[in-house]
Structure 1
Amino acid sequence: MATTIPLIDFQHYGLHVENTETISDEDLKQLGEEIHEAFRTIGFCYIKNHGISQELVDKAFKISRDFFDLPVDTKTKVKRPIDSNNGWVAPGRESLNPDRPGDLKEAFNFAPSGEKIFPDSDVLEMRKIFDEFFAVCKKMTFRILDVLAVGLKLEDRDFLRQCHQDIGNKNQTTLRSLMYPPLPTDGSILPGQVRCGEHSDYGTVTMLFQDDVGGLEVCNTAGEYIQATPVPGAICVNIGDLMQRWTADKLMATKHRVLIPEDEVRKNKGRQSMAFFIHPDDDCLIKCLDGSDKYQPITALDYLNWRFSLTFKNY
């Protein structure tokens, strides 16, 4: 039973390593074993020395705060349409645990392949910074998928990379900026309402960038929630339901949540994070990698649309 989230060092395979051929087979195998064990036992890990600059992360957080500080009327002009995943998601609009009231958070989703929804002039640099951040996360995605393929002992080390080649085009990989505002004190919080309901992610892998406020909790195999305390400079990485399905349950997509904090300091302080939700290409047919056919084959896009239908509340 895991009681902590493992920390994996990508010093030999981060983005600062321009020539990936320089990593030895031994080092790559070691990384593969570490990430496979983390995803097999708790579904989460931290990655340090990944090569994504903290300066860029800080810029993305800052421009997101500027956006979330805009008046509601302005943000409503760029709200997420029913037929697209790009745009603003208002507080309470999403319920990641359908058994709870809407989550006490708001979000802004961005994928280059979707409709380009950004404020016209209020946050001038937002699109530029999101484009840059998306591109860097895409590069890091392939490093993680390479290592995971080694950990899964796939005959074709490039298999997972090839299944995600269309990120940014015919692929639903999405950059999501999240803001959890200070909690209201007027008694308007509904019974059972939380900042982010218990859920597992939908796709292949998620990269999460957190601020220092904390609050994320991860459920281990004993059914106990443990703190995913932010590690400065590290990315919190987890697999989604589609990867669990792909591996015929050999890897586990772990439920996680953000509850209402008990201490008054964190209640009165907003929380911020940015997630890069990684999905296979739309037409990629997801079949159990071990040939077991434990789950019926399904395309990545059909699976995601089914999950969205369970998550978003009607306007």
Structure 2
Amino acid sequence: MSIPVVDFSAYGLNEKAATDEQLRALSKELKKALTEVGFVFLKNTGIAEEEVRPADAIKAARRFLKVLQAEYACFIFWVCGVTADENGTTLRSLYYPPVNSEKAKEGQLRCGEHSDYGTITLLFQNSDGLQVRRRSGEFICAPTIPGAVLINVADLMQRWTSDQFVSVLHRVLLPPVGDCSTRQSLAFFVQPDDEALITCCDGSNKYPPVSAGAYLIERFNDSYGRN
């Protein structure tokens, strides 16, 4: 299964609103992508490909989450967040320097297999190399689609939806032999406000309640060996 591509023009940044019917249709498409694959391409978001501004990334993330409210009402309190002082949301520039792939060791990667910690990640990329793991365990290549934003579910979102949305492993390959080019991308890691209490959307006790800030710190400590 390839990564789905969803046309977001009905609720892109250039549109003031979308009809209930449009929101429901978009929500169903996104739910299918996030439960089956964990990644989705959004095209026609209204974000200028040549200049990704933090304000536009925030608006796009809010609109994406508002669409999901049609299926998951528990997200409604969060749409106005993201910009609070006590919030772990981060826009990060990911630069991969040139490599001599002819001297690379077998199985060596530019970025090893990992999942993201937060809720969703918006990725703006202009070159190939990213791979996403399917539920079968096989890795598939994420193509570069001009003007499209690649969005993936992160670990806290999977927990929030009681594993309905899937946070999958992904990695970045070295360039092909003979290609020593660099790779540049922008990742917008979206977090709820630190004090937001995350409980399972379906009302179950599959995961105990946790504050978004405490969860993020716990994941950092696990990753970097801090006590």
Fold match (TM-score > 0.5) = yes
Q: Which among 36, 43, 46 is matched to residue 48 of structure 1?
A: 43
Q: Do the aligned residues in 2 keep the contact of 1:202 with 1:242 (CA within 8 Å)?
A: yes
Quote the Cα distance in structure 1 between the aligned partners of 2:82 and 2:131.
32
Q: Which residue of 2 aligns with 1:158?
A: 76
Identity of aligned residues (%): 45
Q: Which residue of 1 aligns with 2:185?
A: 273
Does 1:227 find its partner at 2:141? yes
Q: Which residue of 2 aligns with 1:201?
A: 116
Q: Do the aligned residues in 2 keep the contact of 1:15 with 1:51 (CA within 8 Å)?
A: yes
Q: Do the aligned residues in 1 keep the contact of 2:111 with 2:173 (CA within 8 Å)?
A: yes
1:286 to partner: Cα distance: 0.9
The letter for the 1-side match of 2:116 is: D
Q: Which residue of 2 aligns with 1:30?
A: 25
1:230 to partner: Cα distance: 0.9
Q: Which residue of 1 aligns with 2:14?
A: 16
Q: Do the aligned residues in 1 keep the contact of 2:101 with 2:174 (CA within 8 Å)?
A: no
Quote the Cα distance in structure 2 between the aligned partners of 1:312 and 1:274.
23
The letter for the 2-side match of 1:307 is: R
Q: SS where residue 21 of structure 2 aligns? A: helix
Q: Which has the larger radius of gyration?
A: 1
1:221 to partner: Cα distance: 1.3
The letter for the 2-side match of 1:143 is: R
1:193 to partner: Cα distance: 4.2
Quote the Cα distance in structure 2 between the aligned partners of 1:271 and 1:313.
29
Quote the Cα distance in structure 2 between the aligned partners of 1:270 and 1:313.
30
Q: Which residue of 2 aligns with 1:121?
A: none
The letter for the 2-side match of 1:283 is: E
Q: SS where residue 269 of structure 1 aligns? A: coil
Using the size of structure 1 for normalisation, the TM-score is 0.67
**Alignment length, in residue pairs?**
226
Quote the Cα distance in structure 1 between the aligned partners of 2:197 and 2:101.
48
Q: Which residue of 2 aligns with 1:176?
A: 92
Q: Which residue of 2 aligns with 1:239?
A: 153
Q: SS where residue 54 of structure 1 aligns? A: coil
Moved more, 48-57 or 24-33: 48-57
1:261 to partner: Cα distance: 3.2
How far does the alpha carbon of each residue in 1:42-89 deviate from its partner, in whole angstroms, 9 at most, with x for none? 0000001101122323xxxxxxxxxxxxxxxxxxxxxxxxxxxxxxxx
Q: Do the aligned residues in 2 keep the contact of 1:15 with 1:140 (CA within 8 Å)?
A: yes
Moved more, 304-313 or 255-264: 304-313
1:24 to partner: Cα distance: 1.5
Q: Which residue of 2 aligns with 1:215?
A: 129
Q: Do the aligned residues in 2 keep the contact of 1:29 with 1:150 (CA within 8 Å)?
A: yes
Quote the Cα distance in structure 2 between the aligned partners of 1:49 and 1:24.
17
Where does the alignment leave 5 or more consecutive residues of structure 2 unmatched?
A: none
Q: SS where residue 258 of structure 1 aligns? A: strand
Q: Which residue of 2 aligns with 1:311?
A: 223
1:159 to partner: Cα distance: 3.2
Structure with the larger strand share: 2
How far does the alpha carbon of each residue in 1:218-238 deviate from its partner, in whole angstroms, 9 at most, with x for none? 011111100100100000001
